[in-house]
C-alpha cells in the first residue's frame, strides 16, 4: 500500500502512517512552548482526531511540547501536543497528546461536521 516501496518507513523518527483522516480546516491557533515559555500563533490548514498542521512563519523544533488552543467561531479546543513535523517558514505538524476534557466534545463535533461535508 506504500507508494515509495517502504523506504520512508526505514527513516528513523519518521511516522509514516496516520491514525486518523485529515480534513481541511481553518482555525486560529495559539501555542505556548512548555520548555522555553515561548508563545506563537498561526492558523490550522488541516485537522484530525490525532493532530493538526499549523501554518506559522515561526516554528518550533521537532519534539517540542506545546499547550495549545484552537479557536473557531467562538468555540475552543485546548490540548497538549508535540511537534512532529517542521516545515521552516511554513508551519508544523502537531500530534495531540491530551485533549482537555471540556474540549473533547467540541473536537468531535468539528470532525463529525467535516466528515459529513467531505
Collapsing DSSP to helix, strand or coil, 42 comes out as: strand
Res 14: pLDDT: 44
Residue 18 has a pLDDT of 53
Residue in 39, 44, 75 with CA at minimum distance from that of residue 58: 39
Q: Would you give the distance in Å from CA 39 to the centre of its chain?
A: 16
**Of 74, 84, 80, 83, residue with least CA distance to 99:** 80
pTM reported for the whole predicted model: 0.83
Q: Return contacts of 5-13, CB within 8 angstroms, 24+ apart.
A: 13/62
Report the top-level CATH class of 25-117.
mainly beta
Q: Which residue ranges make up each domain of the chain?
A: 25-117
Residue 116 pLDDT more than 70?
Answer: yes
Question: Per-residue pLDDT tens for 82-92?
Answer: 999 999 999 99
Which three cell numbers mark 13?
523518527
pLDDT tens, position by position, 23-45: 999 999 999 999 999 999 999 99
11 pLDDT band, cuts 50/70/90, is: very low
Instruction: Provide the CA 13 distance to its chain's centre, in angstroms.
Output: 17
Average pLDDT over residues 98-104: 95
Q: What is the pLDDT of residues 54-74, one digit of tens each?
A: 999 999 999 999 999 999 999
Residue 50 is given by DSSP the state: S
Amino acid at each position: 500500500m506504500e507508494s515509495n516501496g517502504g523506504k520512508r518507513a526505514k527513516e528513523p523518527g519518521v511516522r509514516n502512517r496516520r491514525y486518523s483522516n485529515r480534513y481541511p480546516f481553518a482555525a486560529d491557533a495559539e501555542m505556548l512552548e512548555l520548555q522555553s515559555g515561548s508563545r506563537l500563533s498561526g492558523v490550522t490548514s488541516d485537522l484530525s482526531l490525532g493532530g493538526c498542521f499549523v501554518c506559522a512563519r515561526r516554528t518550533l523544533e521537532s519534539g517540542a511540547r506545546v499547550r495549545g488552543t484552537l479557536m473557531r467561531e467562538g468555540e475552543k479546543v485546548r490540548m497538549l501536543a508535540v511537534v512532529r513535523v517542521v516545515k521552516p517558514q511554513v508551519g508544523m505538524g502537531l500530534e495531540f497528546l491530551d485533549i482537555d476534557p471540556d474540549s473533547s466534545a467540541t473536537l468531535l463535533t468539528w470532525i463529525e461536521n467535516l466528515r459529513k461535508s467531505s
